[in-house]
């Protein structure tokens, strides 16, 4: 079932995530309630019990009853049902650890804290008993201690289902350390049985030891019926006499001599905690021989008293009560009538004694075999402490020390090591020491910003981390060769030994400008933008490049520039030629750089005066507009735009003389050799 339950969705509502506990009859999983969006605990009955009709009927009745229990000290039952033969109960998800785990880790717990726990459990029991629900399985494993110190009692109702006929043996023997004498005898139980079990829990919590222990469950059950507990103060001398009296009264062998109700026991515990007088009344917790510590009276300081049984009555009572250790026969056993002839009672007693001796002999043989050959140590690696404890105890062993260690390969809270190892042999009742994982140790990722590769590697090693060098990245902020980026980021909490990748700066990113000359305007724009550049466009006339194609670009093709640089492309507007003619009067020569120019292009006019002459003026003969010229012998002037054909007239005059009258005509041919004029003369 364990493997198949994880990830399962029960009744389209409860999504099972992980197993958090296991017992003899059920497994407990953490789950998500998809309707209410909250974490819940889902207890799933094991198949061998779910297949029994008597059990399922009882289970449904008791689960419904448990759902009605309302107390801050009881784990709430939200829902119950079945899905394809799987019976389950949905409960409150309680954070914390069970009391048994605390005892195993710490040993004896502060007696006032134990009294507080007992008071809260009593309140839970009084609620249940008021609804005629007897827990029947009070033990520290069923008492959850929350982070705030308050407790929650688990498994109300389910324990009663365990006492169905088909499961009687496992119910009695499975929790023999905590069962009441009458439960060991298979008698009809009353709320007093829960009070006895709580007394055992308080005894163990305040001393760190169980009041009755033995080689197996049968011998422990026999001690519950026959033997007196060693007073807690003999195990832990620091225990107050008042608190000891409360514990021993709860553990009285006779149910009538225990506290009448859980509420009465709670009042006694609260009186103790408040420093008030504790009056437990007269009681006799013995069934055989009371053990009183040296120097201590059998009288409790609160006025109560417990007295040892008359030694002459020990054997008859022992023989009479010994019948109960076999729960299968105890269920059908009828006590001898007090009106029966006295001559028959010795026969009954003798038969009971013989039965007990046979059982003890069988147990002793089994124990002898285990002691001689040893028992197999179960492999509990990867189990929770509760799961490991159950497996170890079932093997006839017990849990020794419990320590914690970081282990990145084992989930926190689960066993990472055990001694002895699983699969080996160990003496019966010997201890198995456990190491629980705390998960991977968490470390903080250091800040590698602006470090060199060597500096970054040293910092990561010092933090207990591994490293990988990623591909260099361009950065406009970080110098080349220094760490520009890291993953995970600085300050992150990661498991020790994790890998951190650092990326060195390759300096500022530069790109080569692609050659787009000759491309169409749209093609050139797409090419440059895809390469990471911005684009500006201007137009110019060209007689050589078709209209709409790129004449030139700036920066030029192949230049290395920053990403995002703007590239200016000049697009041809086509060719439209205009004629510029230049004529000059006598006394000098003038000519244009080119007679044929395109629309929008400028043209330069050069002039050179003859010896003794200087330029006077230059005029557009069509418009009369004059061009600015220098009063010297040689120079040039520029016509910014040529939008139509034009004639330029240049006039020269003698130095110190007046301007000649009229235009003396154009000078044809090429300019004189001294003038290095481009193009043709006019």
For the annotated binding site for ATP, the residues are 43
Euclidean distance between CA atoms 462 and 460, whole angstroms? 5
The number of CA neighbours under 13 Å toward the Cβ of 560 is 3
Euclidean distance between CA atoms 564 and 429, whole angstroms? 79
Which residues have a Cβ under 8 Å from the Cβ of 222 and sit 6 or more positions away? 184, 214, 322, 325, 356, 360
Provide the angle, in degrees to the nearest 10, between the axes of the packed helices 191-207 and 241-250: 140
What the block records as the tokens of 496 is 């020790």
Catalytic residue among 79, 83, 132, 137: 137
137 annotated active-site: yes
Characterize the bridge pairing of strands 499-504 and 466-469.
Answer: parallel
Known binding site: residues?
A: 43
Beta pairing partners, 635: 607
Question: Would you say 563 and 510 are in contact if contact means Cβ atoms under 8 Å apart?
Answer: yes
Q: b vs e for 185-198, b when ≥16 Cβ sit within 10 Å of the residue's Cβ?
A: bbbebebbbbbbbb
Kindly report the CA angle at 432 between 428 and 434, in degrees rounded to 5?
165
- Three-class SS of residue 319? helix
Characterize the bridge pairing of strands 38-45 and 77-83.
Answer: unpaired
Characterize the bridge pairing of strands 143-145 and 646-654.
Answer: unpaired
Total residues found in the chain within this entry: 682
- How many Cβ atoms sit within 10 Å of the Cβ of residue 632? 10
Q: In 3D, which of 681, 532, 498 has the Cα closest to residue 607? A: 681
Report CA torsion sign: 192, 255, 215, 360: negative
Residues with a catalytic annotation lie at 137
């Amino acid at each position: 079932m364990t493997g198949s339950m994880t990830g399962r969705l029960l009744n389209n509502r409860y999504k099972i995530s992980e197993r958090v506990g296991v017992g003899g009859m059920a497994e407990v999983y953490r789950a998500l309630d998809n309707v209410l969006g909250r974490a819940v605990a889902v207890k799933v009955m094991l198949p061998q019990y779910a297949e029994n009709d008597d059990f399922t009927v009882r289970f449904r009745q008791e689960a419904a009853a448990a759902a009605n229990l309302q107390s801050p000290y009881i784990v709430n039952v939200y829902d119950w049902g079945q899905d394809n033969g799987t019976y389950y109960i949905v409960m409150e998800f309680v954070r914390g650890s069970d009391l048994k785990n605390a005892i195993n880790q710490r040993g004896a717990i502060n007696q006032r804290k134990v009294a507080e726990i007992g008071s809260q459990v009593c309140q839970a029991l009084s609620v249940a008993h008021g609804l005629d629900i007897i827990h029947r399985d009070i033990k520290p494993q069923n008492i959850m201690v929350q982070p705030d110190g308050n407790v929650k009692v688990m498994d109300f109702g389910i324990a009663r289902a365990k006492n169905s006929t088909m499961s009687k043996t496992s119910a009695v023997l499975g929790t023999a350390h905590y069962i009441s004498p009458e439960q060991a005898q298979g008698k009809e139980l009353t709320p007093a049985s829960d009070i006895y079990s709580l007394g055992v829990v308080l005894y163990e919590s305040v001393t760190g030891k169980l009041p009755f222990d033995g080689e197996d469950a049968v011998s422990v059950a026999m001690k519950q019926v026959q033997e007196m507990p060693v007073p807690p103060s003999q195990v832990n001398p620091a225990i107050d006499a008042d608190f000891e009296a409360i514990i021993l009264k709860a553990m009285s062998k006779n149910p009538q001599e225990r506290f009448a109700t859980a509420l009465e026991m709670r009042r006694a515990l609260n009186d103790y905690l408040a420093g008030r007088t504790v009056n437990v009344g007269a009681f006799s917790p013995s069934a055989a021989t009371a053990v009183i510590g040296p120097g201590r009276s059998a009288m409790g300081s609160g006025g109560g008293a417990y007295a040892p049984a008359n030694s002459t009555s020990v054997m008859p009572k022992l023989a009479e009560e010994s019948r109960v250790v076999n729960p299968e026969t105890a269920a059908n056993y009828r006590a001898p009538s007090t009106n029966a002839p006295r001559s028959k009672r010795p026969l009954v007693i003798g038969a009971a004694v013989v039965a007990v001796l046979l059982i003890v002999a069988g147990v002793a043989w089994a124990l002898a075999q285990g002691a001689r050959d040893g028992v197999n140590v179960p492999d509990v690696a990867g189990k929770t402490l509760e799961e490991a404890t159950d497996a170890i105890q079932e093997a006839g062993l017990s849990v020794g020390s419990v320590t914690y260690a970081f282990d990145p390969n084992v989930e926190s809270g689960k066993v990472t090591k055990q001694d002895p190892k699983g699969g080996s042999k160990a003496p019966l009742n010997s201890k198995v020491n456990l190491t629980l994982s705390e998960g991977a140790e968490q470390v903080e990722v250091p800040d590698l910003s602006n470090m060199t590769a060597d500096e970054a590697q040293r910092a990561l090693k010092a933090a207990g981390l591994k490293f990988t060098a990623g591909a260099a990245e361009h950065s406009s902020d970080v110098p080349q060769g220094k760490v520009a980026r890291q993953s995970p980021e600085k300050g992150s909490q990661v498991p020790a030994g994790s890998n951190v990748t650092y990326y060195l700066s390759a300096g500022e990113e530069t790109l080569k400008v692609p050659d787009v000359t000759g491309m169409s305007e749209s093609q050139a724009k797409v090419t440059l933008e895809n390469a990471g550049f911005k684009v500006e466009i201007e137009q110019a006339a060209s007689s050589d490049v078709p209209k709409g194609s790129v004449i030139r670009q700036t920066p030029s093709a192949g230049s290395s520039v920053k990403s995002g640089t703007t590239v200016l492309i000049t697009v041809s507007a086509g060719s439209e030629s205009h004629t510029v003619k230049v004529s000059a009067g006598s006394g000098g020569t003038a000519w244009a750089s080119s007679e044929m120019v395109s629309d929008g292009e400028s043209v330069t006019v050069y002039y050179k005066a003859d010896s003794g002459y200087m330029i006077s003026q230059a005029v557009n003969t069509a418009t009369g507009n004059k061009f600015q010229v220098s009063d010297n012998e040689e120079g040039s002037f520029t016509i910014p735009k040529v939008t139509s054909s034009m004639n330029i007239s240049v006039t020269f005059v003698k130095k110190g003389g007046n301007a000649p009258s009229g235009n003396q005509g154009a000078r044809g041919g090429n300019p004189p050799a001294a003038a290095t004029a481009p193009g043709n003369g006019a």
